[in-house]
Amino acid sequence: MKTYNFYAGPAILAEEVKKQAAQAALEYENTGLSLMEMSHRSAEVTAIMEEAVALTRELLNIPEGYRVLFLQGGASLQFYMTALNLLDSGKTAAYVDTGAWSKKAIKEAKRCGGVDVVASSSDKNYNYIPKNIDVPASAPYVHITTNNTIFGTQFQEIPDFDVPVVADMSSDIFSRPIDVSKYDVIYAGAQKNMGPAGATLVIVREGALGKVTRELPSMLDYRLFIEKNSLFNTGPVFSIYVSLLTLRWIKKNGGVEGMVNRNTEKANLLYEAIDNHPLFYGTAAKEDRSKMNVCFLLHEPSRSDEFLSACADAGIVGVKGHRSVGGFRASIYNAMDLAGVRQLVKVMESFQ
């Protein structure tokens, strides 16, 4: 039986990516070596790093003045690292609180400087995206979480803020075109839309750096990683390579424009099934619905296990909702195809 992977992260990878990754784990390009046992300073790994950067630039249309880094530590380390690099202790940055991940970003930023929570949707268990957000012009940046993995909401458009944006795009990077010039930093753990856990993508405007007065520990200083093309120390080579394989797959499938079309079609299909079904309902405000993480509940929660076991019988894994929302969450990242969503819809439709 085919398995349909709806995990929220680590998450689905394209079939051809898995095959190529397995080959590289065994032997990389007739070198006689696994990619996992090759020096990060070897010609082969250097070429991988360069292509990963170049393809990121191409797919996201990144302008001059920005640098692309592949780091370790996950998005959670970026919560701290972005603030450490950009928020001086006398200053106050603006943060938009749209869920659990925003809250964690806020917590870590407070260790570095002032934090002004300029908007929050905590009043409704984060089921919407705040509108008309006012950001003081004095803020060095405003931090947003573009897609809220747990609550299934997403900024449909990035508002026009008057200050640079720092964005956690962990769960929707490469899912749609973005205007990089609005941002000072974009970061994303690889393990949702890009690759396996262990690599973290950071896109940073060089001009935004070097302005804080504190001394930075080497491993938390973007400038050192820029200087060393991400390899200030040994990088997570295999995770970066699998991310590169995914970037190639995205390019082959129409780039981020191809992805947004595909993602819109999948999301429409699934939300329609939820809306039309008498037993299910969506949790997120309609206009803020995520195209990546679709959260829905049963009007009769007592039947949840029954639905989960119907999913399991159909080869569907990973649809149990996060405990802070309950119910179900179908994560339909780039690599999920329409057939996977159709399979889930079929199970929903037979569930009466």
Ligand X SMILES: Cc1ncc(COP(=O)(O)O)c(C=O)c1O
Catalytic site residues? 101, 168, 192
Task: Examine residue 93 and tell whether it contacts a copy of itself (CB under 8 A).
Answer: no
The H or E element containing residue 68 is: strand 66-71
Q: Please work out, in degrees rounded to the nearest 5, the angle formed at the alpha carbon of residue 94 by the alpha carbons of 160 and 206.
A: 75
CB of 297 to a copy of itself, least distance (A): 20
130, interface contact from ligand X, a copy of itself, Mg ion, none, CB < 5-8 Å by kind:
none
| Residues in binding contact with ligand X, number by CB under 6 A | 13
CA 336 vs CA 149, 192, 247: distances in Å: 16, 11, 15
Site string for a copy of itself, 159-198 (x = CB under 8 A): ------------------------------x-x---xxxx
C-beta of residue 53 within 8 angstroms of C-beta of residue 68: yes
Task: Examine residue 148 and tell whether it contacts Mg ion (CB under 5 A).
Answer: yes
In the list 80, 101, 222, 333, the residue contacting ligand X (rule: CB under 6 A) is 101
Q: Please work out, in degrees rounded to the nearest 5, the angle formed at the alpha carbon of residue 155 by the alpha carbons of 110 and 98.
A: 35
Task: Examine residue 249 and tell whether it contacts a copy of itself (CB under 8 A).
Answer: no
**Shorter beta-carbon distance to a copy of itself: residue 47 or 317:** 317
Q: What are the residue ranges of helices labelled H in 70-202?
A: 74-86, 100-109
| Residues in binding contact with a copy of itself, number by CB under 8 A | 65
| Sequence-distant (≥ 6) Cβ neighbours of residue 33 within 8 angstroms | 27
CB of 47 to ligand X, least distance (A): 20
Task: Examine residue 127 and tell whether it contacts ligand X (CB under 6 A).
Answer: no
**Shorter beta-carbon distance to a copy of itself: residue 119 or 325:** 325
C-beta of residue 80 within 8 angstroms of C-beta of residue 110: no
Binding residues for pyridoxal 5'-phosphate: 75-76, 101, 149, 168, 191, 233-234
In the list 121, 154, 239, 293, the residue contacting a copy of itself (rule: CB under 8 A) is 239
| Sequence-distant (≥ 6) Cβ neighbours of residue 134 within 8 angstroms | 118, 119
C-beta of residue 183 within 8 angstroms of C-beta of residue 203: yes
In the list 24, 48, 69, 75, the residue contacting ligand X (rule: CB under 6 A) is 75
**Shorter beta-carbon distance to ligand X: residue 122 or 233:** 233
**Shorter beta-carbon distance to ligand X: residue 238 or 307:** 238
CA 221 vs CA 25, 209, 240: distances in Å: 31, 9, 20
